[in-house]
A = this chain, B = another copy of it.
Amino acid sequence: MLESRGLARAMRAQLKTKIRLFAQERGYVPALRVLLVGEEEDSVLYAQNIVRWFSNLGLRSSLVTLPHDARIQQVMAEVSLASTDPDVHGLLVQMPLPSHLDYHEVFCALDALKDVEGLHPENIGLLASGQPRLVPSTPLAGMRLLDEYEVPLGGAEVVILGRSNVVGKPLAQLMLQRDASVTLLHSRSRDLVAHIRRADVVAAAVGRPKLVTGEMLKPGAVVLDFGINFVGGALVGDVAFDGAIARAAMITPVPGGIGPLTNLMLAENLLLAATLQADRADKLS
């Protein structure tokens, strides 16, 4: 089982040391700003949790909220403010944005070096051209877990279900860089089962509870479950775990697989972002 809690504990300890060293060397602690548009309860809770989590790790963090009917100009103004403030090193825009706001437009106003979520076109482009810089935390967490368990990827058949900009598409790029043969599938794809059956690695990121079942898998496959679905109050993934674990060589449980690593990757992104900004300032001065 691709259990991550042990790895998460070790990464957390390493990160704390890294943050301490960063602060000693440079005289400041990197700061995350979280921008929340709207009052949707889950989003508020999530944003508050992130802020607290970053603080507990030894990083600075703050929450800025805008009303759910904020105009795009207001949102862009907040993003510009975070971009120009030298005391903010990363901006996380809480998703989803209210439907009248275009997140592409929002991200274009962000300093690409403060884009800790890896959603600015420049960061997406660097990843897609084989020069990754700031990469979305969730697919990074998946790759980290595969490396921890030494899953070979060169020449492997990787089948990714879901083509979102935060998981499926960046994961495909990361897998390609590791020399995997990559297939990207989605809601319009036919023959999902035939694809899953031939896969050495299956990554499910579609948000459909238990879409992938054990009998679809090739015996010995490795399964990454990025699903976060609430069914009857319980958190379940996109993979039917019990059946899958009987057939897979390894599988990430939900919860306890990808999840515990994503915030850690986000915190690493904040450290990277702060370093990139310091390097840029050195160059300009």
Contact = CB atoms under 8 A, between A and B. Distances in A.
A188 B121 CA distance: 28
A120 interface: yes
A124 interface: yes
List the number of copies, as a whole number.
Answer: 2
A17 interface: no
11 contacts: A124-B124, A124-B126, A125-B125, A125-B128, A127-B128, A155-B189, A157-B191, A163-B176, A176-B184, A182-B183, A184-B184
Contacts of A104: 129, 131
Interface residues of A, number: 37
Interface of A: 104, 119-131, 154-155, 157, 163, 165, 169, 172-173, 176, 179, 181-186, 188-191, 194-195, 198
Given A121-B125, A125-B128, A181 B176 contact: no
Contacts of A185: 181
Contact of A165 (B130, B154, B181, B188): B130
A181 B181 contact: no
Nearest to A156: B190
List 7 A-B pairs, minimum CB-CB distance, nearest first: A125-B125, A121-B125, A124-B125, A179-B188, A183-B183, A181-B189, A128-B128
Contacts of A131: 104, 121
B179 A181 contact: no
A77 to B, nearest CB: 17
Contacts of A157: 190-191
Contact of A120 (B125, B172, B188): B125
A172 B176 CA distance: 12
Contacts of A119: 129
Contacts of A169: 128-129, 176
Most chain B CB within 10 A, of A123, A128, A195, is at A128
A71 B119 CA distance: 33
Contacts of A127: 125, 128
Contacts of A126: 121, 124-125
Contacts of A179: 186, 188
A104 B126 CA distance: 9
Nearest to A195: B181
A155 B128 CA distance: 23
Contacts of A186: 176, 179, 181
Contacts of A165: 128-130
Nearest to A182: B184
A143 B125 CA distance: 21
